[in-house]
Structure 1
Amino acid sequence: MTTSFSTPSATGSPVRLSAVSAADQPDVTPALEELYRGFESELLVPLWTEIGDLMPAHPRSRAVPHLWRWEKLRELAAQAGEIVPVGRGGERRAIALANPALGGRPFATPTLWAAIQYLMPGEDAPEHRHTQHAFRFVVEGEGVWTVVGRDPVAMRRGDFLPQAGWNMHAHHNATSEPMAWIDGLDIPFQYTSESQFFEFGRDEISDAERITPDRSRSERLWGHPGLRPVAAASDAPGTPLLAYRWEHTDRALTDQLALEEEGFGGTVEPGHAAVRFTDPSNGTDVLPTIRAEVHRVVRGAETAPVRETGSSVYQVFDGSGTVTVGDTSWSVTRGDLFVVPSWQPLSVRSEAGSTDSDSGALDLFRFSDSPIFEALRLDRTHVEGTTRS
């Protein structure tokens, strides 16, 4: 039994049903054919013809593992910077990763968007807002300030800058050099769920917003570890802290590995440290639909293969190594991005050293759709070769 939804049948219905002889299907008879024509005319599809696709034994993602090389992305973004105006719109000269199995849509996975964005010297990206939750992560360079709710926030190498949906934001490059970074958003999820809104803001930011403070107002209020301002409330759907600085991330990862060497716990597994960015007001994920982490794997260590429901995008922040997703393996270096589809096993082997990594290890930035799956109680994890799940 097969079902097609692309070409209308003789009755004009987009549903087409064909009876086939199979052990798990009804006997092919004139009565069955007549029944199927009735289903077609009333736009009905029997579950027994679809259960293999709708209810598989485990997730079968429409996305596939794929790798994008940072060197090529940056080269093409630089070309776009010379040719394409930054514009008065939502495009921001953002160049999205398109998973090869998703029909050319600008989606890295069925739920996650990832893009490289490029801002030329002295250039402004005009203000707008959208319901899509977003972040910026900087793998190299500095000199751009993102202005969120009229609060200028510096962007530097290793910084993670989350921004919950429906916040007005703009960017400006205060230097004489171009700068590139990656954007992550839940655009595919909101597109599929038909829940997205978008609105233009001002064409230009004010002179007061063009200042270049070392710390934003959000950092001065919320950026003190373990301390919550008593007078400040945060009922927004995301973290009130607009910048998580690399110096703090690096120190946390370094301390985890040092504690492991001293015989104390703290790492995910031998040679594998990890931190998760959280909302300082409540300890939850920084964004309702996106989880963000940084993983550090010491030279020679190899992580156990892990399967998870939901998808992830990784960027190599520093170092080199070999990444295996399902049956696909790549050698990766600084800036490279790759996709891990739902329930595809991921393992990483670090080949980093002092010549290609500031930390001497392989550092990976990861963002995923885990908060969505956890909220719906659809999250599941399996670590191969162990009892951890």
Structure 2
Amino acid sequence: MQIIKYPVRDTWADLLKRPHFDTSSLQSTVNAVLNDVRERGDEALFYYAEKFDKVRLSSLLVSKEEINASESLVSSELKTAIRQAKRNIEIFHRSQVFETKKIETSPGVTCWQKAVAIEKVGLYIPGGTAPLFSTVLMLAIPAKIAGSKEIILCTPPDKDGKVHPAILFAAKEAGVDKIFKAGGAQAISAMAYGTESVPKVYKIFGPGNQYVMAAKQLVSLTDVAIDMPAGPSEVQVIADRMANPVFIAADLLSQAEHGGDSQVILTTTDEVLLLEVEKEVNRQLAMLPRCEIATKALDNSKLILLHTDEEIIEMTNEYAPEHLIIETENYLQLADRVVNAGSVFLGNYTPESAGDYASGTNHTLPTSGYAKAYSGVNLDSFVKKITFQEITREGIRHLGGTIEVMAENEQLYAHKNAVTVRMKE
């Protein structure tokens, strides 16, 4: 990790740059896959399963027998953990249920909103080096609470044509309706356009590699909504002399092991702590099974020494981290000043891993600085709000003149007339 001491303010923008990967070359490749699936449907999905996943499938749909069998293939310990996490995620997301309130904005004019579930949602769960069954819970549980009528899930199969049993078990527990063996950009295309097997959905959720992210952004231009733009995972830790360098190093490495394009940052005013963390990172790194991946991520990462807490908060809000861990004596005061972050973890005993798995908050969060404008996934991600209004005879009598004046001054005379005819009547 690079150590940077007391950087001046006008260097922060360059200092805080994320790892940049040119995705322009992906566009033509991803577009070709999207169009192929759109035109050939299931036939294309079978073709890409053989090409990319090295498996010849007889069916895209995961059978009920496969789903039911997953329970016996998952350890009792993991099943208990998944069920505990599910409970906490449900409790937190149920607290977000919208309550309709009717408001009389002026005499005889009543307005209100109603939250309505997005009827059909698609969840993408990556395969690859780690079975992200936790993401199944994070996406399917709020969809179920919101009331989505159809929850489908796409995930790539292994070389034996199987889906990891933990993913199947989590999907069953969380209430997923159908699971399909499809990965990559082809799965995004299938959910965006529909095939003979895979239903078309109205909104797509979930992480993925650069091809998946490019596919999501392309289909969102004209065909389907997506959860948010997303990039490689990241964490920033704020720490002071009261923090434990062992904890900090573990927190940094927990994100670094996600992928070689991840980024982790420590910001502190204590130089002794900074050097202790550097040593501890190297010690713990050597013991990690995913050491090689984490090492690549650390090449993109920084230990930054600043003069004051004020500078740290300014840098944090400029960086807008996906995950922010505050391990300081005054963590509540600092947290109150944070305005740009995906999810914040407070105190020495709140690792980012808690939010990833089981505390109850959602781990699908904005990356790449999008926390300046986007929220993480929550119950509202799975609903749309429809406004209603009811105006009585008295209401149009009171409000009509205002509407007529405004419409006339915008030179929209049909708008004005829609009020005038009622006022005359």
Q: TM-score range with shorter-chain normalisation?
A: under 0.3
Structure number with higher relative contact order (C-alpha < 8 Å, ≥ 6 residues apart): 2
The structure carrying a bigger helix percent of its residues is 2
**Richer in strand (by share):** 1
For the pair shown, the structure with the greater C-alpha radius of gyration is 2
TM (norm. structure 1) is: 0.23
